Amino acid sequence: MRVQLLSDLHLETEAFEPRPAPDADLLILAGDIDAGHGGLDLFADWPVPVVYIAGNHEFDQRDFDSAMAELRVRCDRLGFTMLERESLVHTHAGRRYRLLGTALWCDFDLLGAHDRARCMKAGAYFLDRVQCSTRDGLPFSAQQVRDEFTRCREWLGQQLSLGRRSSRWDETIVITHFAPSAKSADPRYGLQPASASFCSDCEDLMGRAGLWIHGHLHCRHDYVVAGTRVVCNARGHVDRGEADDYNPLRVLEI
Ligand SMILES: [Fe+2]
Ligand SMILES: [Fe+2]
């Protein structure tokens, strides 16, 4: 199966016209497509099935649960499959691919539990000034992000314990918005407290999926941990040079 992967298009500020990769069998949208949500409509009538995972920016200035519900309604209308702690077995050319999708979020423990408070403080700066989401009438805080990560991580761990392959699927693909390893940290900045708002160490889950796709970091990655190939093909912001070597037509074969 050949997968076109797009994420971090940030259509709320960026000008970008998506085009279908001519040889792709599936399109995966791994979050931060458009904080305004309307940009998802650019993928209407896409020639291959579309699977969508929400990114953090789809919750900007919104109530968390209302935004999730609105995204579901939009995806249903567009005929996309939205995955949030949900799985889908997608059959292509007689092979069954189990797709596991969740935003994942982060635990702020990337530098170790002893540095969690410092990392949460760095995360809170962004959450309070840029994302400005609410949940249950309260600001969507770093602690709430961490709690959401725990829910996503537990679900993913349970799903992956069922095996990379089984009688019901031939391969497993994980799709998250946030990154599952420090290896995905943006090389422009190195490892620092803010990195923990982007990556969490989920390497103990590697080996139980053939491919782990993520976004959120505005750079490209393609590496292997314990037999799991980790790929990020995020676009990012043109004026920061993040899209300089970006190929939106890149296709992954699995
Ligand atoms: Fe992004
Ligand atoms: Fe993001």
Structure-token pair, residue 253:
């074969």
Ligand 1 center to 9 CA (angstroms)? 7
Boundaries of every domain in the chain? 2-253
Instruction: Please tell me the number of the ligand nearest to residue 178's CA.
Output: 2
Q: What percent of the chain has pLDDT over 90?
A: 99
* pLDDT confidence tier of residue 65, bands split at 50, 70 and 90: very high
Ligand 1 center to 4 CA (angstroms)? 18
Contact 35, 56 (CB under 8 A): no
Beta strands in 103-209 (DSSP E): 134-135, 138-139, 171-176
pLDDT per position as a tens digit, 111-130: 999 999 999 999 999 999 99
Contacts of 207 (CB under 8 A, 6+ apart): 164, 225, 226, 227, 228
Please name the amino acid found at residue 1.
M
pLDDT for residue 16: 96
For the chain, state the CA radius of gyration: 17
Mean per-residue pLDDT, 6-26: 97
* pLDDT confidence tier of residue 105, bands split at 50, 70 and 90: very high
β-sheet bridge partners, residue 251: 4
pLDDT for residue 238: 97
Mean per-residue pLDDT, 18-26: 97
Contacts of 232 (CB under 8 A, 6+ apart): 7, 179, 184, 213, 214, 215, 216, 217, 219, 220, 221, 222
Ligand 1 center to 75 CA (angstroms)? 20
Alpha helices in the chain (DSSP H): 64-78, 116-126, 142-160
Q: Which pTM value belongs to this model?
A: 0.97
Instruction: Please tell me the number of the ligand nearest to residue 60's CA.
Output: 2
Contact 243, 9 (CB under 8 A): no
Ligand 2 center to 58 CA (angstroms)? 9
Q: Mean pLDDT for the chain?
A: 97
Mean per-residue pLDDT, 148-157: 98
Calculate the CA 245 to chain-centre distance.
20
Q: What is the CATH number of domain 2-253?
A: 3.60.21.10
pLDDT per position as a tens digit, 38-59: 999 999 999 999 999 999 999 9
Contact 196, 122 (CB under 8 A): yes
Mean per-residue pLDDT, 204-213: 98
Ligand 2 center to 228 CA (angstroms)? 22
pLDDT for residue 48: 98
* pLDDT confidence tier of residue 239, bands split at 50, 70 and 90: very high
